Amino acid sequence: MHSNTLKIVLLSVAAFLAHSQASATEWDITERRLRKLESEMLAAHVTLDFTTLAHMYADEYTYISNDGTMLTKSQVVEIVKTASFRVDSIPVSNSRVRMYGTTAVITGVRKFYRAGKLLATARYTEVWVNRNKRWQCVSGQLTPILEKK
């Protein structure tokens, strides 16, 4: 009887490890996909590609800017169309992706450069949702990181 219990425990552990390995691979693929989408979104901001942004942002997208202003998807797309905040690059650091089912939260630090000059550094949070096998950003927020004097 003890032998059967041991076999069941060992089979359960093996099944768990196999599932964990599959889940880890699935997680890696999803994380890479989200990082790629985030990179494409930032590139669209740099190149003023408002069509790509309109596709990547969900219709209910809301953005909270560094001064606390809340903007809708159409307002953000309009800002990009008019190039009212033009940047040449937006490098990301300390990025972290956390998954909650079909929802992902990405946090990190972004720096905004124009003509080689640092304009701003901000901590950011984005919320992405997977609907019908398509990831869209539903919310974003920037908080300035002020230089310590």
The predicted model gives 31-36 an average pLDDT of 94
* β-pairing verdict for 134-144 and 117-131: antiparallel
What are the C-alpha distances in Å from 149 to residues 35, 141, 146? 33, 25, 9
Taking the CA atoms of the chain, what radius of gyration do you get in angstroms? 20
Sheet containing strand 70-72, strands side by side: 70-72, 57-64, 134-144, 117-131, 103-114, 92-100
Which residue shows structure tokens 């998954």? 99
Provide the pLDDT for residue 29: 86
State pLDDT tens for residues 59-93: 999 999 888 999 999 999 888 888 777 899 999 99
Burial of 13 (0-12, 13-18, 19+ CB in 10 A): exposed
